[in-house]
Amino acid sequence: MNICIRQIVVGVATAMFVAAVQAQVLAPQDMKPGAAAVATASTLPGERPLGVTPEPRTLPASPAPQVQVNRPLNPGALQQVEMQAQAAANQIPVRPRKTLPAPPPVIEVQSGQNKAFGIALSHVNRIITPFRDPEIKTTSVATISAERGVIYVSTLLQDEIALMVYEKGDPFNAISITMVPDAISPVSVKVNVAGYVANTDTGHSVANGDLARGWESDQPFVEVVKSTFREIALGRVPEGYGFQAIKRVPAQMPTCDIPGVEIAPQQLITGNAMVVIVSRITNRNYKPISVDESKCESPAVIGAATWPSQKLGPGQSAELYVAVRQHVETEGHQRPSLLGTGVSN
């Protein structure tokens, strides 16, 4: 019994000695990187041992970058590069610039059909339309303004200028024109729309006697005729005057003896004291002529004028204005003449 107890005590003491030896702490000089962590972790129940930290390594030094020095270009090589660039630029297709001559003083267009002509570059050009209040549509870069039916166009660029022009509120009767700027004289052209009658659905407007009388009495009569012709040339009807499109020669039309010129009366503009007959004249000669308005003779003729020019080439047309006196009935009672009354002395 005593022997068994002694063996048990010896066994316990031996086990305690072994455990004490395994738990001893390593001396600092005996420690290596990661050794303490492994020894400690191995004694913790249920914990995974940590990996051993590797010893740091010294990386080899990278070679220093070499600085490249730009060498001067060879003049011959530089010239060759420039020649190659110029050759490549010459292969790019260039659109040839269109040039057109200036239009005649009067042109007639069909509604919606484009008409192209040249205009002056860096100058003001004038386009006279049959519209009183023109509406202008364009995407072109140019200086464009309108004043009582007259359009003024100027540009410093050589790009084409396209306009769509119509009476405000009536886009169905439109003028479509393309203008090509060039180094020519300023252009003034009147554009008529075939079959178009301005500012009326029936082609007829009634004269206002009071307004027409005021128009005619505000200035000397000679100036009245000139002012009336000027208004008509600008495509306007003088204030108070009536307008009527005609297809027959009116009774007021005088005889105009102008050889080789076709005269076609088409409009009648009626005032208080005078009537203006507007005719389209065309040179049917084979050579240029100068229209002599004085050949339109009648006791009732007040004045005549050709617009825009008296000189017409073969086939060229213009407008002829002839003003004649309007018969005015006197108001009030008629006084009987003392002559021929049969009164004897």
Per-residue model confidence (pLDDT) at position 330: 45
Reported confidence tier of residue 251, pLDDT bands at 50, 70, 90: confident
Instruction: Please name the amino acid found at residue 154.
Output: S
Residues belonging to the chain: 345
Q: Report residue 260's pLDDT band, with 50, 70 and 90 as the boundaries.
A: very high
- 308, 339 Cβ separation under 8 angstroms: no
For 211-219, what is the mean pLDDT?
48
pLDDT for res 243: 87
- Say how many C-beta atoms besides its own lie within 10 A of residue 245's C-beta: 16
Q: Are residues 246 and 173 in the same domain?
A: no
Domain that holds residue 313: 204-325
What's residue 304's pLDDT? 92
Lowest-pLDDT range of 4-18, 253-267, 315-329: 4-18
Q: What confidence category does residue 180 fall into, taking pLDDT thresholds of 50, 70 and 90?
A: very high
Rounded Cα–Cα distance for residues 190 and 108 (Å): 8
| Residue 183 included in any domain | yes
Instruction: List the single range of 67-71, 104-108, 283-287, 296-300 with lowest mean pLDDT.
Output: 67-71
Q: Which of 17-31, 156-170, 290-304 is predicted least confidently?
A: 17-31
pLDDT for residue 42? 45
Of 165, 193, 221, the position where a domain reaches its end is: 193
User: Residue 146 forms beta bridges with which residues?
Assistant: 151
- Say whether both 186 and 208 belong to one domain: no
Same domain, yes or no: 230 and 287: yes
Phi, psi values for residue 76, rounded to 5°: -65, -40
pTM across the whole model? 0.40
- On whether both 263 and 150 belong to a single domain, the answer is no
Q: Which of 193, 228, 259 is the last residue of a domain?
A: 193
Mark which of 169, 193, 217 sits at the end of a domain. 193
Mean pLDDT, the chain, rounded, equals 75
Is the residue at 70 inside a domain? Answer: no
> Mean pLDDT throughout 218-242?
80
**Residue 286 within a domain:** yes
- The CATH number covering residue 135 comes to 2.60.40
Please tell me the predicted confidence (pLDDT) of residue 71: 60
- Give me the DSSP letters along 238-278: PTT-EEEE-SS--TTPPEE--TTEEEEEEEEEE-SSEEEEE
Same domain for 211 and 261?
yes
pLDDT at 165: 92
Q: Which of 122-136, 187-201, 261-275 has the lowest mean pLDDT?
A: 187-201
Instruction: Give the chain's domain count.
Output: 2
Cα 324 from Cα 299, distance rounded (Å): 9
Q: Are residues 218 and 253 in the same domain?
A: yes
For residue 16, being part of any structural domain is answered with no
- What's the pLDDT tens digit per position in 5-61? 566 655 666 666 555 555 454 444 555 544 444 444 444 455 555 555 566 666 666
Q: Which residues contact 215 (CB under 8 A, 6 or more apart)?
A: 224, 228, 238, 239, 240, 241, 271, 272
The mean pLDDT of 100-112, rounded to a whole number, is 86
Examine the domain organization and report whether 304 and 238 are in the same domain.
Answer: yes
Confidence band, pLDDT 50/70/90 cuts, at residue 336 = low
Least confident of 3-7, 166-170, 188-192, 222-226: 3-7
Among the residue ranges 21-35, 88-102, 291-305, 313-327, the one predicted with the least confidence is: 21-35
pLDDT value of position 247: 84
Whether residue 277 is found in the same domain as residue 311: yes
- Any domain includes 45: no
135 in any annotated domain: yes
187 and 272 part of one domain: no
Residue 201 has pLDDT above 50, yes or no: no
Q: What is the pLDDT of residue 242?
A: 85
135 has which bridge partners? 166
In the block, tokens 């004045």 appear at: 303
Does residue 100 carry a pLDDT above 90?
A: no
> Do 186 and 114 sit in the same domain of this protein?
yes
Q: What is the DSSP letter of 329?
A: P
The predicted pLDDT at position 339 comes to 65
Q: 208 falls in which pLDDT band (50, 70, 90)?
A: very low
| Percent of the chain clearing pLDDT 90 (strictly above) | 28
| 68-96 average pLDDT score | 63
For residues 217 and 303, state if they share a domain: yes
The answer as to whether 85 is a domain residue is no
pLDDT at 287 over 70: yes
Residue 309, sorted as left (phi over 0), alpha (psi -120 to 50) or beta, turns out to be beta
Say whether both 251 and 296 belong to one domain. Answer: yes
Q: Is residue 199 part of a domain?
A: no
